[in-house]
Structure 1
Amino acid sequence: MLTRSMLLATLCALVALVTTAPAARALVSIDVTQGEVRPLPIAIPYFSGQVRDDQLGAQIAEVVLADLTGSGLFAGVDRNAYIEQTLGVSTMPRFGDWRAIGAEALVTGSVVRENGDRLRVEFRLWDPLQEQQILGQQFFTTPENWRRVAHIVADAIYERLTGEKGYFDTRIVFVAESGPKNARVKRLAIMDQDGANVSYLTDGSNLVLTPRFSPAGQYVTYMSYEGAQPHVYLLDIETGKRQLLGDFSNMSFAPRFSPDGNRVVMSLQEGGNANIFVMDLRSRKLSRLTNTPAIDTAPSYSPDGSRIVFESDRGGTQQLYVMGADGSNPQRISFGDGRYSTPVWSPRGDLIAFTKQGQGRFSIGVMRPDGTGERILTTGFHNEGPTWAPNGRVLAFFRESGGAQGGASIYTVDITGRNERRVDVATIASDPAWSPRR
């Protein structure tokens, strides 16, 4: 677990020097209304380095390539096809050699160890068709931070070639499960978005559910079964310090931060029903937002903080509703066949993701905030719990497999419904929540 001082030291050591070609164009066009996207062929030779850093240069190049191809927008050119084999970061490529093998983008890089404990990682992004450099950056950091630098490099390339912010230098908090299916131990865990660097935030002595990141990424709010009733807690992931959010007599659950990070909205059980409340984290004042004999839960703020989407069975079945952030003017927005749950507002504000259950199957879908334009992205035995990447172009969710030994795994899918991928985690994993950009 990173302490605050370690994090600040890392960020202070990370310096980027940027150069771009004037009026260079985006090479990848993203159209979310289209189901087919032609991935851009990109070549990424291993980054050059001194003898002991050659392996590190290869590892950084592999992570950058995995990030980009994992987005579904890029296709790696087979390294066995490379004609130009030796290419320094400051050397002008033989562009004809790269065009001949179909590369429409080329990344070259180097890794140099300086003063013992400092790495200088440098890369260049080239357009072989226009025969020009379109981006160049270098970073200084510590050797153990190489993987994060690779994600930052991938983010820079992704943004330069697509015009969209990248999402690779992010993390996912989730529930890691172990043990037999009828007696699972559930711990809060955190990992890089690609499944690397898993660490645990709780010890498994109490069941935990629904972790959610704060907008700044330092805190996680979640529900824990401690004592007589499950309650909502706040955890500082840098220090490990946690605190109870309200010692209520009944269960509190389904927490989520406001966009400014100053409030947590949640559900509180009241007899056989549940209503939505919001707590100001500075004053600890609790305010009621709904007051119905139904179960109102799973609230999620719009990015500007003015509205909240939530699920409720006030109409007889689980459906999605949108109301003002003060609880005013609730309006139903879901009208398809089946039951809707776990809504979460896109960070772009244009879509709401949800889980939909019907005909014995669970689907992950999106709709506009007014309920129009519903699209199902993926369907399976048990899909649930969508969470947005910070650029609003990709969703993570978990899928439960059937059978006596079945368990959950985390998947990602883009908002066109294509490029569904399993995140490689060496544990049963559920309830993902994507962090903001670090």
Structure 2
Amino acid sequence: MVRQFLAILCVAMLCAPVMAQAQQGPLRLEINDGIIEPLPFALPTFQAETPNAGEMANQISALVAQDLTGTGLFRQIGSDAFISNVSAFSAPVQFPDWRAINAQALITGAVSVDGSGQVVVKFRLYDVFSGNELGQGLQFVGTTQGWRRIAHKVADVVYERITGEGPYFDSRIVFVGETGPKNDRRKRLGIMDYDGANTQYLTDSSAIVLAPRFSPNGDRVLYTSYETGFPRIYVLNIGSVNRRALDVPDGTMSFAPRFAPNGQTVVFSLTTGGNTDLYTLDINSGQRTRLTSTPAIETAPSYSPDGSQIVFESDRSGSPQIYVMPAGGGEARRLSNGAGRYGTPVWSPKGDLIAFTKQNNGRFHIGVMRTDGSEERLLTASFLDEGPTWSPNGRVIMFTRETQGENGAPALYSVDISGRNLKKVRTDTAASDPSWSPLQR
């Protein structure tokens, strides 16, 4: 539903404070690699339009603000600074009062809850300095149990209209939850909202599981399990938690799977006879196709968004590096050219960048490069950073970080592709191997 609302604002350079830009024209915010002044916004608590909607209105208002401020691009103005409040959703906005406290965006809303548990949320977004509404007011309908999704949808529309970037708050993360000491670590698949809420577990901890990957529409997950003693790939339906193993020859090891954009083809690594190459498998027909045939280890494949190319990791040059080849196999071209070892490349949903893990001089990094290997930029540096995954809009990268020391446990972190706003993602346990879903439907 959120996808239909296209950004209506221009994007302009922010070399001076945001306020000066806003006074000269329509509300606008560019996300670039320079210093970004967070845009100040006011969000009066949404109006409760039914007697039982007060708590829900508070929760939804707080989560919308949390989503926006969590990007590092927005700054919420506290209610103690308000000169006037919004008395009703339909009440005229007193723009001078909001300009006086330097609010550049104003978000107003109302919440109602009926006897059956249906929640209706209305909201509007205003450019305070121009005194205009941005777009048209919207309404979302859901249930009391699904109030978080409604809040994420509201925040997504606000984010999209102000930045021009696609939305990403109404999405989920599948990951490996880890418990126990390092010498007896228990692992199981978990799924949660993008911000770490609503965690559920999809498998138990009876077998080691690795590298879960969402399908293009978010209904299934590929992952590797060691329950038979050898790594083998399974596909799991999230709604029913039914699963089945992919059809591979007995005695082989299969791992590092990823869906093609069509959702029916899987590319993965298969080790047979001591050699590891890339294969594809049609889930419906079971037809398997070999893509590479070298003495090297070929792994960590990822499709381009249009399905025409595959980027992957190979040590054919003597150390792990990043290569790209046609989706049907053929000549591979090396992309990585810097010092160090490269791995786990992942194509951006926008198709413009490739994220990767890099190891150099005893440090691990998450980085991005153009799809031709140019303009490499390192976004993080740590004892161990690895396994990037892209947000649905291609703006944020989540990854696994492990701290140094005997008691170090993996955790999930996220970072903007400018290298800003590095932060830890809340999880119930130690966590690794994140995979970001598309927007929920």
TM-score (normalizing by structure 1): 0.93
- Residue 86 of structure 1 and its aligned partner are, at CA, apart by 4.2
Unaligned runs of 5+ in 2: 12-24
Correspondence 1:24-43 to 2 at 5 A: 27-32=27-32, 34-43=33-42
Partner residue of 2:219? Answer: 218
- Residue 139 of structure 1 and its aligned partner are, at CA, apart by 1.6
- Residue 113 of structure 1 and its aligned partner are, at CA, apart by 1.3
Stretch moving more, 48-57 or 416-425: 48-57
Correspondence 1:369-408 to 2 at 5 A: 369-408=371-410
Correspondence 1:7-406 to 2 at 5 A: 27-32=27-32, 34-49=33-48, 50-134=50-134, 135-248=136-249, 249-406=251-408
Residue 293 and residue 26 in structure 1: after superposition, are their counterparts in 2 closer, same or farther (change >3 A)?
A: farther
Stretch moving more, 392-401 or 87-96: 87-96
- Residue 17 of structure 1 and its aligned partner are, at CA, apart by 12
Question: Residues 257-280 of structure 1: CA distance to partner in whole angstroms, max 9, x if unpaired?
Answer: 001111000000123331000001
Amino acid at match of 1:63: L
Query: Are the equivalent residues in 2 in contact too, given 1:177–1:427 (CA < 8 A)?
Result: yes
- Residue 130 of structure 1 and its aligned partner are, at CA, apart by 1.1
Query: Are the equivalent residues in 1 in contact too, given 2:2–2:153 (CA < 8 A)?
Result: no
Partner residue of 2:15? Answer: none
Stretch moving more, 128-137 or 21-30: 21-30
Query: Are the equivalent residues in 1 in contact too, given 2:322–2:342 (CA < 8 A)?
Result: yes
Please give the alpha-carbon distance, in whole angstroms, between the structure 1 residues aligned to 2:228 and 2:9: 62
- Residue 319 of structure 1 and its aligned partner are, at CA, apart by 0.2
Question: Residues 195-238 of structure 1: CA distance to partner in whole angstroms, max 9, x if unpaired?
Answer: 10000000111110000000010000000001131100000000
Amino acid at match of 2:275: N
Q: Percent identity over the alignment?
A: 52
Question: Residues 117-145 of structure 1: CA distance to partner in whole angstroms, max 9, x if unpaired?
Answer: 21111111111111122231112221111
Residue 28 and residue 39 in structure 1: after superposition, are their counterparts in 2 closer, same or farther (change >3 A)?
A: farther
SS in structure 1 at match of 2:54: helix
Query: Are the equivalent residues in 2 in contact too, given 1:173–1:432 (CA < 8 A)?
Result: yes
Stretch moving more, 411-420 or 129-138: 129-138
Query: Are the equivalent residues in 1 in contact too, given 2:313–2:343 (CA < 8 A)?
Result: yes
Query: Are the equivalent residues in 2 in contact too, given 1:108–1:125 (CA < 8 A)?
Result: yes
- Residue 406 of structure 1 and its aligned partner are, at CA, apart by 1.1
Unaligned runs of 5+ in 1: 1-13
- Residue 71 of structure 1 and its aligned partner are, at CA, apart by 1.4
Residue 68 and residue 271 in structure 1: after superposition, are their counterparts in 2 closer, same or farther (change >3 A)?
A: same
Question: Residues 134-177 of structure 1: CA distance to partner in whole angstroms, max 9, x if unpaired?
Answer: 23111222111111000000111111111121100000000000
Question: Residues 228-254 of structure 1: CA distance to partner in whole angstroms, max 9, x if unpaired?
Answer: 311000000001100000243211000
Please give the alpha-carbon distance, in whole angstroms, between the structure 2 residues aligned to 1:115 and 1:233: 43
Stretch moving more, 191-200 or 49-58: 49-58
Please give the alpha-carbon distance, in whole angstroms, between the structure 1 residues aligned to 2:434 and 2:366: 14
Query: Are the equivalent residues in 1 in contact too, given 2:7–2:165 (CA < 8 A)?
Result: no
Residue 241 and residue 100 in structure 1: after superposition, are their counterparts in 2 closer, same or farther (change >3 A)?
A: same
- Residue 30 of structure 1 and its aligned partner are, at CA, apart by 2.6
- Residue 26 of structure 1 and its aligned partner are, at CA, apart by 6.9
> RMSD of the TM alignment (CA)?
2.1
SS in structure 1 at match of 2:226: strand
Query: Are the equivalent residues in 2 in contact too, given 1:17–1:138 (CA < 8 A)?
Result: no
Residue 417 and residue 15 in structure 1: after superposition, are their counterparts in 2 closer, same or farther (change >3 A)?
A: closer
Aligned residues: 424
Query: Are the equivalent residues in 2 in contact too, given 1:389–1:395 (CA < 8 A)?
Result: yes
Query: Are the equivalent residues in 2 in contact too, given 1:44–1:108 (CA < 8 A)?
Result: yes
Amino acid at match of 1:44: L
- Residue 27 of structure 1 and its aligned partner are, at CA, apart by 2.9
